Chains A and B, each alone.
Chain A
Amino acid sequence: MDNKGWSLKAGSLLPLLLLVSELLLGQSVDSLPICPTGAVNCQVSLRDLFDRAVILSHYIHNLSSEMFNEFDKRYAQGRGFITKAINSCHTSSLSTPEDKEQAQQIHHEDLLNLILRVLRSWNDPLYHLVTEVRGMQEAPDSILSRAIEIEEQNRRLLEGMEKIVGQVHPGVKENEVYSVWSGLPSLQMADEDTRLFAFYNLLHCLRRDSHKIDNYLKLLKCRIVYDSNC
């Protein structure tokens, strides 16, 4: 990312650039029109929306990492919970790009939709996570506060993404698709080990998915706002 001065200039020149690039370079993934013709102001706001979305996603990922580390330190040491290799996350069914090439090849609308799906998929688990963490024995405040914060920020990010999608694809309203989370019974198990393991798993998945979303959004931002020249 270049300094702000450059980005401000870019913001003002970008509409022209995009129009020109679209005309000259033809349709490509990278140069799809951002704003519908006639909407002069949307570019700036889109950039702001993306900036805000990236900030939120980054923040959520930070919180998730901290929460996971805290939990790991407090409850998982010595219990052998390190089963990342085994456990799967409920969002794994969503076919998200798994490396850079795949991410670059996907269209940004699809990517945006994927992001939306992931975000929606986490609404329910996050809600239950907060509830269940409260019910944990010696509920640590650090974990609980972060869980609450993540839940709220996730909702905000979802709203922001929907706005972005509305700008990028105005008029196309996709059916709300998301993965269903079925891990609630595990969280409520009477057996403490099982329950802790379920928590561990959920937090691990949360960390991974927040990183994924953060990465996708940064990629999209560079691609859409800065034209792949961050």
Chain B
Amino acid sequence: MIEATPATLGRPSQSLQRVNPGPGTNSSGKPKFTKCRSPELETFSCHWTDGVHHGLKNPGSVQLFYIRRSTQEWTQEWKECPDYVSAGENSCYFNSSYTSIWIPYCIKLTSNGGTVDQKCFSVEEIVQPDPPVGLNWTLLNISLTGIHADIQVRWEPPPNADVQKGWIVLEYELQYKEVNESQWKMMDPVLSRSVPVYSLRLDKEYEVRVRSRQRNSEKYGEFSEVLYVALPQMSPFACEEDFQFPWFLIIIFGIFGLTMILFLFIFSKQQRIKMLILPPVPVPKIKGIDPDLLKEGKLEEVNTILAIHDNYKPEFYNDDSWVEFIELDIDDPDEKTEGSDTDRLLSNDHEKSLNILGAKDDDSGRTSCYEPDILETDFNASDVCDGTSEVPQPQRLKGEVDLLCLDQKNQNNLPSTDTAPTTQQPSVILAKENKPRPLLISGTESTHQAAHPQLSNPSSLANIDFYAQVSDITPAGSVVLSPGQKNKAGISPCDRPPEVVSLCQANFIMDSAYFCEADAKKCITVAPHVEVESRVEPSFNQEDMYITTESLTTTTGRSGTAERAPSSGMPVPDYTSIHIVQSPRGLVLNATALPLPDKEFLSSCGYVSTDQLNKIMP
């Protein structure tokens, strides 16, 4: 019964829905078509299952009928399968005479007369080629390492497929795997009949198989026979490759270690590196002097340092040789007062490191005035460098002496820090102040001026003690200062009878010595020494230049007292400020020390202008 043979368009019959019955056992017991297949587009065959489970076969009861549309219409009736044998059991084979391509076929299965299954198709839709044959392989090359190899696999198309004439076009798919593996590796389909397989290990065996399908179709044919590929054995040298020197690890660890070391280095030298990268701006300082030292107030140490400081020397060492060498008569024990500046000045304890001028007994070291290491204070640079480099020292002294005087007189609110005694050279550094140097240098003049009126006045001297009085001048030509002894003794050391000064002033003047408020004794005694002063005597106990405040204060009344009997009436200031050091190599000390015809001059104790000086000096 052909239920679906209308020539016109219409609803298809329900019986024609199933195209390809699934494989497997026929649970229903009926025979079913399993597969219809054409291997070469020339013949085809259909297979079905025998649905009988009971084991009781009903031979011959199953029949296959087919029908094809050769023309526009369904003309024939169902024909029976021409060949039940060639394709095996439960199959029907249609040879080329029964096969038409691009023609719809319908087949049906009958069992005992009843249709059990039906199927319609066209032959070009059921093409599944046979497997390729004649697989073989050839070795292409072996890698340099001797581990891998490439092979070329060749095969022949299935013999029944007429690829020669182009009736059917096939494409192939190769699969390979190692012998002991379970998963096949697939390669892409190729149209050619050979394909290279790369990178096979030489120590392993492989299996290769190929299958084909019609180009444009989806279904592949069966796989070919498996081809065993036994590659030649690896060369003995090849094994070396397996061990790979762990360069990678070594490099990694090496880099890591180097990095660690670098970091440690950077970390430890952080400061140094920071200095390298960002060098600090140099602040003015004296070489070798620790600012902390100054803060602590250890004057002795500072003095020591400063004394050794070479740069200091040129300050004081000038052409004005006398400046350098206000000799202290160390031989005269009387002149020595312990702890007093006088003592210091007089003592030959050169070993005392309190030597501003630098204990070096050499003329060298005349450093530039503009060395930053030198006193940072703004000396009156012109003054300093114009040959009056003594100024700094006296300024130092000034400050110190003033302080001393101040301490004793203690009423002087002069910026003692600024004033500098117009003393002789020995510069006294007060370690008391944090910045003794600036104390000594800056604003000396103004303060000096301020100090002068007081100093010029003998009476006022009692109250003001800016400058150290040269209490004595030793025969050796050294100057003895009276460090504030007046206070302790009730006498202002700064109070000096001018007459005393005047007594020796002439001498002094003649010697081109500046001094202020020198008592007569001093003047007289010192006069001959003044000349000596002019001689550069490096041995002048520069180390004794330092007069500490303490020493000054403590030694009140002691310095110079031995020398001056009438010292009670003579205020001997601790320091004599040296205002100007000029040619002809004189220090202008306190005005009282000068035989000034007019008070006016005397008023400016310690400061004598050049003109005034010229008046005084011959």
A residues with a Cβ closer than 8 A to B are: 1, 3, 58, 61-62, 65, 80-88, 92-93, 96, 98-101, 103-104, 186, 194, 197-198, 201, 208-209, 211-212, 214-215, 218-223, 226, 228-230
Please tell me if the beta carbons of B9 and A186 are within 8 angstroms of each other in the complex.
yes
Please tell me if the beta carbons of B16 and A214 are within 8 angstroms of each other in the complex.
no
- Decide if the interface of chain A is mainly helix, strand, loop or mixed: helix
Cβ contacts under 8 Å, A93 to chain B: 72
Given contacts A80-B14, A212-B102, contact A65 B9 (CB under 8 A): no
B residues with a Cβ closer than 8 A to A are: 4-7, 9-14, 16-17, 19, 41-42, 69, 71-72, 96, 99-106, 120-122, 124, 162-167, 169, 191-192, 215-216
Q: Return the contact of B42 from the options A81, A100, A198, A230 (Cβ within 8 A).
A: A100
Cβ contacts under 8 Å, A197 to chain B: 9
Please tell me if the beta carbons of A214 and B99 are within 8 angstroms of each other in the complex.
no
The chain B residue sitting closest to A65, CB to CB, is B216
The chain B residue sitting closest to A86, CB to CB, is B4
Cβ contacts under 8 Å, B41 to chain A: 100, 215
With A83-B16, A84-B104, A86-B4 known, 10 other A-B pairs at CB within 8 A are A1-B191, A1-B192, A3-B192, A87-B9, A99-B96, A194-B9, A201-B9, A208-B124, A222-B164, A223-B165
Cβ contacts under 8 Å, A228 to chain B: 164-166
Please tell me if the beta carbons of A208 and B17 are within 8 angstroms of each other in the complex.
no
Cβ contacts under 8 Å, A96 to chain B: 102
The chain A residue sitting closest to B107, CB to CB, is A85
- Residue pairs across A and B with Cβ atoms less than 8 A apart, 19 shown, are A1-B192, A58-B216, A61-B216, A62-B216, A80-B12, A83-B4, A84-B121, A86-B104, A87-B9, A92-B72, A98-B101, A100-B96, A208-B124, A211-B124, A219-B166, A222-B164, A222-B165, A228-B165, A230-B164
Query: What's the Cα separation between A1 and B166 when bound, in Å?
Result: 9
Please tell me if the beta carbons of A85 and B104 are within 8 angstroms of each other in the complex.
yes
Please tell me if the beta carbons of A82 and B9 are within 8 angstroms of each other in the complex.
no
The chain B residue sitting closest to A186, CB to CB, is B9
In angstroms, how far is the closest chain B Cβ from the Cβ of A190?
A: 15
Please tell me if the beta carbons of A218 and B166 are within 8 angstroms of each other in the complex.
yes
In angstroms, how far is the closest chain B Cβ from the Cβ of A117?
A: 15
Cβ contacts under 8 Å, A103 to chain B: 167
Query: What's the Cα separation between A221 and B163 when bound, in Å?
Result: 12
Query: What's the Cα separation between A62 and B217 when bound, in Å?
Result: 9
Q: Return the contact of A82 from the options B101, B120, B216 (Cβ within 8 A).
A: B120
Query: What's the Cα separation between A186 and B41 when bound, in Å?
Result: 33
Cβ contacts under 8 Å, B163 to chain A: 1, 230
Please tell me if the beta carbons of A219 and B167 are within 8 angstroms of each other in the complex.
yes
Cβ contacts under 8 Å, A82 to chain B: 12, 16-17, 19, 120
Query: What's the Cα separation between A86 and B4 when bound, in Å?
Result: 7
Cβ contacts under 8 Å, B42 to chain A: 99-100
Query: What's the Cα separation between A229 and B5 when bound, in Å?
Result: 42
Cβ contacts under 8 Å, B169 to chain A: 218
Please tell me if the beta carbons of A85 and B96 are within 8 angstroms of each other in the complex.
no
Cβ contacts under 8 Å, B7 to chain A: 86
Cβ contacts under 8 Å, B102 to chain A: 96, 98, 208-209, 211-212
Cβ contacts under 8 Å, B69 to chain A: 85, 88
Query: What's the Cα separation between A134 and B554 when bound, in Å?
Result: 121
Query: What's the Cα separation between A220 and B120 when bound, in Å?
Result: 30
Please tell me if the beta carbons of B96 and A101 are within 8 angstroms of each other in the complex.
yes
In angstroms, how far is the closest chain A Cβ from the Cβ of B7?
A: 8
Query: What's the Cα separation between A226 and B166 when bound, in Å?
Result: 10
In angstroms, how far is the closest chain A Cβ from the Cβ of B575?
A: 110
Query: What's the Cα separation between A200 and B167 when bound, in Å?
Result: 28
Given contacts A186-B9, A208-B124, contact A100 B106 (CB under 8 A): no
Cβ contacts under 8 Å, A88 to chain B: 69, 72
Query: What's the Cα separation between A33 and B136 when bound, in Å?
Result: 39
Cβ contacts under 8 Å, B6 to chain A: 86
Query: What's the Cα separation between A3 and B152 when bound, in Å?
Result: 15
The chain A residue sitting closest to B166, CB to CB, is A222
Q: Return the contact of B16 from the options A85, A92, A104, A223 (Cβ within 8 A).
A: A85
Cβ contacts under 8 Å, B165 to chain A: 100, 104, 219, 222-223, 228, 230
Cβ contacts under 8 Å, B5 to chain A: 86
Cβ contacts under 8 Å, A198 to chain B: 9
Would you list the 3 A-B pairs with minimal beta carbon distance, nearest first? A222-B166, A85-B120, A83-B12
In angstroms, how far is the closest chain B Cβ from the Cβ of A108?
A: 12
Cβ contacts under 8 Å, A221 to chain B: 166
The chain A residue sitting closest to B216, CB to CB, is A61
Cβ contacts under 8 Å, A229 to chain B: 164
Query: What's the Cα separation between A230 and B161 when bound, in Å?
Result: 12
Cβ contacts under 8 Å, A222 to chain B: 164-166
Please tell me if the beta carbons of A80 and B11 are within 8 angstroms of each other in the complex.
yes
Query: What's the Cα separation between A186 and B12 when bound, in Å?
Result: 16
Cβ contacts under 8 Å, A101 to chain B: 96
Query: What's the Cα separation between A87 and B105 when bound, in Å?
Result: 12
Q: Return the contact of B166 from the options A81, A84, A99, A230 (Cβ within 8 A).
A: A230
The chain B residue sitting closest to A183, CB to CB, is B9
Cβ contacts under 8 Å, A100 to chain B: 41-42, 96, 162, 165, 167
Query: What's the Cα separation between A86 and B169 when bound, in Å?
Result: 29
In angstroms, how far is the closest chain A Cβ from the Cβ of B250?
A: 49
Query: What's the Cα separation between A122 and B4 when bound, in Å?
Result: 28
In angstroms, how far is the closest chain A Cβ from the Cβ of B509?
A: 123
Cβ contacts under 8 Å, B167 to chain A: 100, 103, 215, 218-219
With most chain B CB atoms within 10 A of its CB, the pick from A85, A186, A214, A230 is A85
The chain B residue sitting closest to A91, CB to CB, is B102
Query: What's the Cα separation between A73 and B137 when bound, in Å?
Result: 42
Query: What's the Cα separation between A209 and B71 when bound, in Å?
Result: 16
In angstroms, how far is the closest chain B Cβ from the Cβ of A132?
A: 16
With most chain A CB atoms within 10 A of its CB, the pick from B4, B14, B17, B216 is B216
Query: What's the Cα separation between A174 and B42 when bound, in Å?
Result: 31
The chain A residue sitting closest to B8, CB to CB, is A86
Query: What's the Cα separation between A92 and B74 when bound, in Å?
Result: 13
The chain A residue sitting closest to B127, CB to CB, is A211
Given contacts A98-B101, A228-B165, A230-B165, contact A208 B96 (CB under 8 A): no
In angstroms, how far is the closest chain A Cβ from the Cβ of B152?
A: 12
Cβ contacts under 8 Å, A83 to chain B: 4, 12, 16, 120
Query: What's the Cα separation between A208 and B121 when bound, in Å?
Result: 12
Cβ contacts under 8 Å, A209 to chain B: 102
Given contacts A80-B17, A88-B72, contact A223 B166 (CB under 8 A): yes
Cβ contacts under 8 Å, B216 to chain A: 58, 61-62, 65, 211, 214
Cβ contacts under 8 Å, A92 to chain B: 71-72
Cβ contacts under 8 Å, A215 to chain B: 41, 101, 124, 167
In angstroms, how far is the closest chain B Cβ from the Cβ of A4?
A: 10
Query: What's the Cα separation between A62 and B171 when bound, in Å?
Result: 14
Cβ contacts under 8 Å, B13 to chain A: 80
Given contacts A101-B96, A211-B216, contact A85 B164 (CB under 8 A): no
Cβ contacts under 8 Å, A226 to chain B: 166
The chain A residue sitting closest to B14, CB to CB, is A80
Cβ contacts under 8 Å, B162 to chain A: 100
In angstroms, how far is the closest chain A Cβ from the Cβ of B13?
A: 8
Cβ contacts under 8 Å, B10 to chain A: 86
